[in-house]
Amino acid sequence: MSKKSKILHNKYSKEDLQKQLDLEDFKRITISFYKYVIIKDPITMRQKLYIDWDKLKIKGRIYIAHEGINAQLSCPEQNWERFKKQVYSIKEFKNVPFKLAVEENNYSFLKLAIKVKKQIVSDGLNSNEYDVTNVGNHLSATKWNKYIDEGATVVDVRNHYESRIGHFENAICPDVDTFREELPIIKDKLKNKKEDKILLYCTGGIRCEKTSAYLKHHGFNDVNQLHGGIIEYAKQVKETGIENKFIGKNFVFDDRLAEKVSNKTISTCDQCGEPCDDYTNCNYVDCNLLFIQCKKCKDTYNGCCTKDCSKMAALPKEEQKKIRKQRKRASLTSFKKSIRPQENLDERRRNNT
């Protein structure tokens, strides 16, 4: 990567970025979009987008690869039309569908981060295991509901912590931490359903795109996917008044962590067991565990997952840094001790030759 590319990144601390957001006197729109399309030079594309979007005060997390783009971001309301025009002016992204958040706030993202990746969704597949030009049928919310009522098999193509707080009723929800783990598990769970109608859904549609291509490659004949994912489904339910078959919250990959799709709470607080579907990251920076925590426990534990983490988080920041350095030194010393016998053996061998 060129020297020029290295300077195109955020240079502010988290605290400074938070202050900048607090001072904004305008509303933001939270958007997601993706597209599988050949991008010949992802680095050059990354540079162009960073320059253009930084001028528009865009914040978000964007992945670019040779196979396409996957973007979640927030745009100032007054720059929304300019942003759309700019995106559509790029031939690779012409007419890409945007998905707007159901619940809005100005703090979905703190900074603009655009990264070049090998894949826009990490799946662990070989290129001969799928063809993204041969994917499942894209369904509207109305068609989706119709097929559910007719008894189709519904599969949640997300991780367990996402489906834990919200999912479609009677959906198959694999107990996995990553999308990479999920694909072979889904294929195995559906091994006796190759002739059945399969319905796939995820947050915004991108994981379904890859999963449907993977299943079709492995002989599944009637594969369908929820167009635009849960985000678009919730929007269509709200606009048209059709029955909402999604229960709970939709997990989102920004600082909001989730947005409400129905009023039903299907999960419980990890600390007290009371009904709750609010995710939080442990307030102790060295932990940062993602877990469900009710407001009462949040106060009791200072936003932390345990009393030990709460004690550490309460220490002055300089004291926390000092402890981190001590732990790193101790870890390095332990590592060196673990490899020293091998080093000594190598030294003895050299001396004996």
From 202, 269, 282, 297, the catalytic residue? 202
| Distance, CA of 296 to CA of 98 (rounded, Å) | 37
**Ordered DSSP codes for 76-89:** EGGGHHHHHHHHHT
Average pLDDT, the chain: 87
CATH architecture label of 127-240: 3-Layer(aba) Sandwich (3.40)
This prediction's pTM? 0.75
Burial-class residue 129 by CB neighbours within 10 Å (0-12, 13-18, 19+).
Answer: middle
Nearest to 138 by CA among 240, 246, 37, 229: 229
CATH architecture label of 3-116: 2-Layer Sandwich (3.30)
State mean pLDDT over 168-188.
93
| Distance, CA of 289 to CA of 282 (rounded, Å) | 5
State mean pLDDT over 104-117.
81
**Is residue 65 helix, strand or coil?**
strand
Domain spans of the chain? 3-116, 127-240
State mean pLDDT over 253-265.
88
**Whether the domain at 3-116 and the domain at 127-240 fall into the same CATH topology:** no
**pLDDT tens track for 274-310:** 999 999 999 998 899 999 999 999 999 999 999 999 9
Tell me, what's the pLDDT at 19? 77
Diameter over CA atoms, the chain = 83
Tell me, what's the pLDDT at 12? 65
| Distance, CA of 96 to CA of 10 (rounded, Å) | 27
Report residue 157 CA to chain centroid gap. Answer: 12
Query: Is residue 202 flagged as an active site residue?
Result: yes
The backbone torsions φ and ψ at residue 36, rounded to the nearest 5 degrees and listed phi first, read -85, 115
Nearest to 250 by CA among 164, 174, 183, 182: 164
- Do residues 246 and 231 make contact, with C-beta atoms less than 8 angstroms apart? no
Residue 348 in this model has a pLDDT that exceeds 80 = no
* Rounded to 5°, angle at Cα 15 from 10 and 17: 40
